[in-house]
């Protein structure tokens, strides 16, 4: 899988689990920016992710699973951003459900820059069933898709 295919598949991801620093994983809505090689998150002041990134770029990890055929562990750096233009670009009805408008003083923007991704590219639900059935008939292990690493 090329980086371009990875970014294309990430466009379809609506939820993932983000951990910044040593903080716990929490569900977040990722917004990909393939041109910049970044994944953005809109969150709130006082969250673990914001606290962990407050001192500058922090080690972070993003887990993507159950989103189409893409399953991945993505490592990188997370940092806070005050890019108002990016916030305006990303602002949407989902984000607005959590805040009192785009000018809410609690809004924080996190930029996640991937450094490496371990990817499992599955064959989808129908492909899974076919592979399991084939395995039962032939005695061979099922082909569950590709597994590889991408460096950014």
pLDDT digits (tens, 9 = 90+) for 71-119: 899 999 999 999 999 999 999 999 999 999 999 999 999 999 999 999 9
- 58-68 burial, b at 16+ Cβ within 10 Å, e below that, comes to bebbbebeebe
pTM for the model: 0.85
Question: What is the pLDDT, as a whole number, of residue 47?
Answer: 97
The total domain count for the chain is 1
Residues of the domain holding 102: 3-151
Domain of 113, CATH number, reads 2.30.110.10
């Amino acid at each position: 899988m090329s980086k371009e295919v990875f970014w294309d598949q990430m466009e379809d991801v609506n939820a993932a689990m983000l951990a910044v620093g040593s903080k716990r994983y929490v569900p977040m809505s990722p917004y990909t920016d393939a041109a910049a090689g970044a994944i953005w998150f809109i969150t709130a002041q006082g969250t673990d992710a914001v606290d962990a990134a407050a001192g500058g770029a922090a080690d972070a990890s993003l887990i993507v699973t159950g989103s189409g055929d893409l399953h991945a562990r993505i490592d990188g750096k997370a940092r806070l951003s005050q890019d108002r233009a990016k916030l305006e670009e990303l602002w949407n009805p989902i984000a607005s459900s959590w805040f009192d408008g785009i000018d809410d003083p609690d809004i924080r923007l996190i930029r996640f820059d991937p450094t490496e991704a371990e990817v499992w590219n599955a064959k989808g639900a129908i492909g899974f069933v076919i592979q399991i059935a084939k395995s039962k008939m032939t005695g061979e292990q099922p082909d569950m898709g590709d597994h590889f690493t991408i460096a950014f």
